[in-house]
Amino acid sequence: MTIKRLSDKDRTFPKAIKIGREKYFSAVELNSWLQSRATNKSAIRQDDKIISGARFLELTGRSKGWLWLNVIKPKTLTRINLSPDPKSNKLINYFIEREVYALYGDLIEVSNGEGA
C-alpha cells in the first residue's frame, strides 16, 4: 500500500514500468529515492530491508515513548521518511532492518524470550 500511495502522491517517486497488468520499479531508482529520504544517505544499501517504526516496536517490545527517547531523539538509527510530503509534520518512521538488529539485537532476543 505504501508503494501505491507514494507513486500516486509523490512526484519525485520513481515511475513504474507497466508490463501486462503488473507495475515494476527500478531497484536502482528506488534506492536513490530512499537515500534522498534518509537521515544518513550513505547508510542504505541496495539489498536493505526497510521496516516500519511499528514493526521495530513489535520486535523490541517497547513503546513509542521509548522509541522517541532512545532512538529518534539521540539519532541512533538511520530514519527514512516515507511521508508523501517530506516537509510535513506527519513524519512516518521507517528504519533499516540491518541497523535495528545490529544495535538492538540483544533487546529483540530478550523481548522474544530467546535470551532467558
pLDDT digits (tens, 9 = 90+) for 79-107: 998 877 767 667 778 999 999 999 999 99
Total domains present in the chain: 1
For residue 14, tell me if it sits in a domain: yes
Q: What is the mean pLDDT of residues 17-28?
A: 90
In a domain? residue 63 = yes
Instruction: Compute, in degrees rounded to 10, the torsion defined by CA atoms 57, 93, 103, 47.
Output: 110
Residue 106 cell numbers, joined = 540483544
- Does a structural domain hold residue 116? no
For 11, which DSSP code?
A: T
Domain that holds residue 96: 2-111
- Asked if residue 77 belongs to a domain, the reply is yes
pTM of the predicted model as reported, rounded to 2 decimal places: 0.78
Residue 52 lies in a domain: yes
Tell how strand 93-96 and strand 79-81 pair up. Answer: antiparallel
| Residue 29 in domain | yes
User: What is the per-residue pLDDT for 57?
Assistant: 95
What is the mean predicted confidence (pLDDT) over 53-81? 94
